[in-house]
Amino acid sequence: MGEIYYNPWKSAYKSPFGAIQEGQSARFGFLGADSGIDQVYLVIEPEGQKAYRIKMTPQENGFFQTEFAFNDGKGLYFYHFELEYLSANQQRFTRYYGWSGENGHGEVRDYLKECMNYQVTCYQKAEKAPDWYRQAVFYQIFPDRFFNGNPDGHVNNPKENTFLYGDLRDDPMYIKDAQGEILRWDFYGGNFAGIQAKIPYLKELGVNALYLNPIFEARSNHRYDTADYLKVDPILGTEAEFQELLDTLHQEGFRVILDGVFSHVGRHSRYFNYDGAYGPGVGAYQDIKSPYFPWFTFLNYPNEYRSWWGVKDLPEVNKENEEFQRFIYGAKGVLSKWNQMGLDGWRLDVADELPDEFIAGIRNNLDHYEDKVLLGEVWEDASNKVSYGIRRQYILGDHLHGVMNYPLRSATIDFLMENCSPEDIALVFTRLQENYPREVFYNSLNNIGTHDTERILSQLEGDYEKLSLAFALLVTFPGVPCIYYGDEAGLTGGKDPDNRKFFPWGRVDETCYRECRKWLALRKENHLLQGGEFGLIYSERLLGVLRYDETHFILTVLNPLGVEVIVSAKDFAAFRELPLTRERLAKLLEGQRIRAHGSYVIEGELSE
């Protein structure tokens, strides 16, 4: 058999690389040098529509080529190739070439049902985020667990039937009943004044933007059980204190985004009012004539109702209810109230639970202001995500600017714990780079830990050198880095609530802090790490993260192994064409010793 080959990661076979804007064309090339191939067809199908079967034009040396215009609207386009053979006795038969499921190259199949399609993401418009966002370094704060700014340490407005820890060094815990429901919520007393008091610490660390977990009135410490969208939680402070915090942060050069929890509310909210705390006749549970009653879906009124993942404490809201939509993103709604106070954006909790039209409504509200960003909590590849049987439009235009980069966290841990190879990492992110529109790829909110995950230092089994490499990946990959409070201080912890300890003021681990600050400073000082082009090189033992523009580059080489590695440039490979040739790599890296769990950073001009 002669050579048969296609790889969309190589410019000879597909150009441009990656996602395509609606109305633009792409060139497809195919090598069909196998004897007997008479014709090659590109078969491409806009999802849910009729497929196109396009005869490719023969070129020299068994190469075939065609162009395709993406004129059938935004969405996913799936394609493969039909290889039409003409045998020696003039008999025709067809074979099929599709994605191998591994890297960019494909494989020949005898039957169409065995052929796996390639994907092209077609987007409506480039999602350019505000300039400040691309230059930001975020710090995620779980407000109750950061700092109490009251001089005497008193807790603002303690809640009924809760408990306060006697020592801020105590580990968090839940008090649950036999059914697993939390009986009493626990609090440490962090507040708005505490965040304001620690602005100097945050500036010294090297961050310039805050992502705050929910701050609205709620019963729990995490506040994902919103009780009143129009009020801040009194235990955090007053609305005036929040405004003062915002103003001070802006004066100090910070930006602030809030967690928007619009999929569900708290059972004890004024909208549901399970226990009647907001008065008789208030809330859907108390009265079917309540204006909030249509917000909820009761299966058997009042005790059986839809809730988020079956959690009875979190009644699910009907996002298709027009009154709820107006309440959240209408001209006088929730978003407008807080946006007008100076918020810089929102992160949408559980975006999978929000219909595309609802997200578009939120985006439309934010677009009435300057420089506001909209991010979504999506844990997987957002380009082809399906939730509740519907293909999502998160990143196709007029929805999200970007999503949380949980794939980076997963890959970081697997890589540093030697559960995957450098080549595996390169595969994951070349595929993600291919599937995302360029702007969206660079708008990702990178993380190596959040309030929903185990602490990164615990995942790395307490290894500080591996933690330094995790910080390196966080800041050198495309996207905007976000530090989860305390990760820079050496906090450890397993699953919730252990990952939500109080910040260890006075006990900050200087090694962790120093490494985090070092890598954040590198990103701040190097514009290529904020917006440069991206590529990965890999060998059996090393991973190289390359960022570059037309003239300059910065290359970060990481050694995840517990032994020193001496670099041999000939061992490096890449899935895509990159501007650093093997000869140039040899001059830059040949013989360089990279210590166990170490890194090597080199900057320079692309041309010698």
Which of 349, 353, 434, 439 is the catalytic position? 349
Name which CATH class applies to 533-605.
mainly beta
To the question of pTM greater than 0.85 for the whole model, the response is yes
Q: Determine which helix (DSSP H) or strand (DSSP E) holds 511, and give its type and residue range.
A: helix 510-525
Read off the pLDDT of each residue in 427-448 and give the average, rounded to a whole number. 98
Which sign, positive or negative, has the C-alpha torsion 475, 481, 483, 484? negative
pLDDT digits (tens, 9 = 90+) for 539-564: 999 999 999 999 999 999 999 999 99
The answer to whether residue 128 scores a pLDDT higher than 70 is yes
* CB neighbourhood size of 596 (10 A): 12
pLDDT digits (tens, 9 = 90+) for 361-380: 999 999 999 999 999 999 99
| Span(s) in the chain for CATH 2.60.40.10 | 4-123
CA 464 to chain CA mean position, Å: 25
Q: What percent of the chain has pLDDT over 90?
A: 96
**Active site includes 349?**
yes
d(CA 305, CA 465): 49
pLDDT digits (tens, 9 = 90+) for 483-542: 999 999 999 999 999 999 999 999 999 999 999 999 999 999 999 999 999 999 999 999
Read off the pLDDT of each residue in 309-318 and give the average, rounded to a whole number. 97
pLDDT digits (tens, 9 = 90+) for 442-493: 999 999 999 999 999 999 999 999 999 999 999 999 999 999 999 999 999 9
Q: What pLDDT does residue 35 have?
A: 81
The answer to whether residue 1 scores a pLDDT higher than 70 is no
For 4-123, CATH gives: 2.60.40.10
Read off the pLDDT of each residue in 146-158 and give the average, rounded to a whole number. 98
Read off the pLDDT of each residue in 54-64 and give the average, rounded to a whole number. 97
- Nearest CA to 300 out of 288, 308, 289 is that of 288
CA distances to 220, 228, 285, 316, 347 from 278, in Å: 17, 11, 11, 19, 28
Q: What pLDDT does residue 607 have?
A: 83
Q: Report the amino acid identity of residue 504.
A: P
Which DSSP string corresponds to 375-395?
EE---S-TTS-EETTEE--TT
**Cβ partners under 8 Å of residue 100, min gap 6:** 106, 107, 116
Which of 225, 377, 465, 509 is the catalytic position? 377
Per-position b or e across 483-496, b if 16+ CB within 10 A of its CB? bbbbbbbbbbbeee
Q: What pLDDT does residue 34 have?
A: 84
**Active site includes 171?**
no
